[in-house]
Amino acid sequence: MSSTLQAQATLPPAVQALLDKDAIRTVIYRVARGSDRKIRDLGLYDATIAPDPTAAAHHQIGHSLIEIAADGVSARAETYCTANIVVGGEGSEWMTLLVRYVDRFEKRDGEWRIAHRVVVYDGASKSGFMGRLPKENLGVRDETDYSRTVFQD
C-alpha cells in the first residue's frame, strides 16, 4: 500500500468524506472541460461514452449534491449544469440546455470514476428539442423525476 493510501486510511471518516467529495467534484469539472475542449479519453469513466456530436460546447457547472455510500467506495451525485452547444452548421446557431447529471461513482485503486451517468433535461432554448427526448430523460418536479430514484428524499 502506498504511503498516500496508508495516510488516507487513518484519516477521520468526516475528513475522508470531504476529500472524496472534492475528488468527485474534480472529476465532474474535468469531464465538462473535456467535452468543451474535445478531450475524449480522460480516464474518468468506467463505462464507454458515446461520441460527442456537437461542434462546440460550453458547460457552466452549478451545484452538486454528492453522497458517499457507507462502503466508502461508491457514491452518487446530482449536478446542475447550463450547457451552450452549437446546433447549426459552421457554428451559426447555439442552443442553451438546462441539464442535471445524475452519476454513480466508484472508487477503484484510490481514484473516483463515473460508473454510470444519466443526463436529465430540464429545459432547452430551441423550440421542439425537449419533445424529441426520451420521456425518462425529462426532468419533472415530482417523485417521478429520475433523480428521485437515485436519491431517496
Amino acid (one-letter) located at 34: G
What is the SS3 string spanning the chain? CCHHHHHHHCCCHHHHHHHHHHHHHHHHHHHHHHHHHCCCCCCCECCCCCCCCCCCEEEEEEEEEEEECCCCCEEEEEEEEEEEEECCHHHCCEEEEEEEEEEEEEEECCEEEEEEEEEEEEEECCCCCHHHCCHHHECCCCCCCHHHHHCCC
Residue pLDDT, tens place only, 97-133: 999 999 999 999 999 999 999 999 999 998 888 888 8
Residue pLDDT, tens place only, 8-64: 568 999 999 999 999 999 999 999 998 888 776 666 655 555 555 666 889 999 999
Residue spans of the domains in the chain: they are: 3-150
pLDDT value for 45: 55
Nine-digit cell string for 86: 452549437
pLDDT value for 129: 86
Classify domain 3-150 by CATH architecture: Roll (3.10)
pTM above 0.85, yes or no: no
Query: What is the C-alpha to C-alpha distance for residues 126 and 55, in angstroms, rounded to an integer?
Result: 16
Residue pLDDT, tens place only, 61-109: 999 999 999 999 999 999 999 999 887 666 678 899 999 999 999 999 9
